[in-house]
Amino acid sequence: MAVKLFHQCGHNTNWNVDSFTKDKCGEGLILSPVHKKHEDVQKLDKNIKTQSIFDPQFYLPNSQKEKLKTYPFFPETISPDSFSTGDFPLVALEAAKQCIEFQVQNRFSRIVIPARYFDQMYPDFIERQNSYTVHPFLKALQHKKVQKPVYLTLPLTSHMIMSQIYRTQILNWATSFPEINGVYIIAAPPDEGLKQVQSEEFLFSYMSFLHQLRKADLEVLVGYSNTEGLLYLMVEGCDITFGAFENTRMFSIDKFIISDEERRGPKARIFSAGLLNWIQLSHAKEIMDEDRNLWKRVYDQTEYGDRALKATVEPTFNQPQLYKHHFVVLSRLVAELRALPVLERYKGLHSRLKMAGELYKKIMNLPMDLEKHSGGDHIQPWLNALNKFYRTYISPK
């Protein structure tokens, strides 16, 4: 089963569309109703939609976000007198029918059963999800007789991922439905406030869970993955995602909440394949000026990256160059790795991580101190998780 790379769409979905259609980055889109209105999804090119997926985003069912409310099947829209957990079962089947019909009419490649996001390890997590969406959607699918793969959404916390008992319960549940072909799995990151996952325990647990899901003959799509998604390629047949803004590369419920808080635009960062990280553009220019040979190892050239680096004014978050650069570079990395057998993928990833560690040392020796999010604190935990996964599941005994 060939690995696929999907755009996790969010704000400025047109950048993802351009990257997919013009630059041939990725194999499809995952469309986000919190960022794209009902009518805009309907208007999207049919050829794009047949290769793409619609995520109904029922994570926060009482979300007041305007674009979500343009969908007649969204819980807050369809529920009488706004969403309430107690009343929703009365209209859940109707919501399921409409949501499935929307996905079928738009010819998406798969049917996604949504789920609610719970931030705690409730003992009745499975029962809640069953009554909320799973049973109504399966019932609606039975009547519709849809001939497309059906994916169950699994929105989990890092604590759920790191609990072997909880993982086993979720695995048993997900494999108990013969109608379900795969899972669309999402995990909130464990390291709040960090731009790269640094928890070895989380990464190894997540990789192990993805491996178990695949061994159970379920197709697996990992949503909201950041650069650590490269590690998930160690799981044969595991599809991953990439996104532009951080809220498409790390899952958070924040995007579904209306807030009056004013947010500043993020500092411009450029993705470095050599460092396996996003670094501040100002630091990137300093490295380029200080040591051209080092810069050649840090920077993978693209027309978009070149344009951003040459600009006299630092790009803002509303300009696409740095994000399109990321799409091109990550697509290259994924293409390089997925062409290899798993054992060779391990060697390739291991080599890249070791090289990244060496490049960080060379930057420090310039001397230059990168700020914490641009640094290499994630490299060793990634190496540890990769090696442990190799020893546990791949290495011939």
**Structural domains in the chain?**
5-256 (3.20.20), 269-394 (no CATH)
Single-letter residue type at 122: Y
In whole angstroms, give the CA distance from residue 328 to residue 308: 14
Least confident of 79-83, 112-116, 181-185: 79-83
Least confident of 53-57, 136-140, 261-265, 349-353: 261-265
Contact 8, 243 (CB under 8 A): yes
Return the pLDDT at 34: 96
Of 102, 97, 4, the closest CA to residue 49 belongs to 102
Is the pLDDT assigned to residue 93 strictly greater than 70? yes
Contact 62, 75 (CB under 8 A): yes
DSSP 63: -
DSSP, collapsed to helix, strand or coil, labels residue 185 as strand
Distance set, CA 331 to CA 290, 328, 346, 379 (Å): 28, 5, 18, 20
Q: DSSP assignment of 209-272, as one string?
A: HHHHHHHTT-EEEE-S--TTHHHHTTSTTEEEEE-SSHHHHS--GGGGS------PPPPPEEEE
Confidence band (pLDDT; 50, 70, 90) for 395?
confident
Instruction: Please give the average per-residue pLDDT across 111-127, as a whole number.
Output: 95
Contact 363, 284 (CB under 8 A): no
State the pTM of this model. Answer: 0.96
Q: DSSP assignment of 256-281, as one string?
A: GS------PPPPPEEEETTTTEEEEH
Of 271, 263, 335, the closest CA to residue 308 belongs to 271
What order do you get walking across the sheet with 238-242 strand by strand? 53-54, 28-31, 5-8, 238-242, 219-222, 182-187, 150-156, 111-113
Q: Give tens-digit pLDDT for 139-162.
A: 999 988 888 999 999 999 999 999
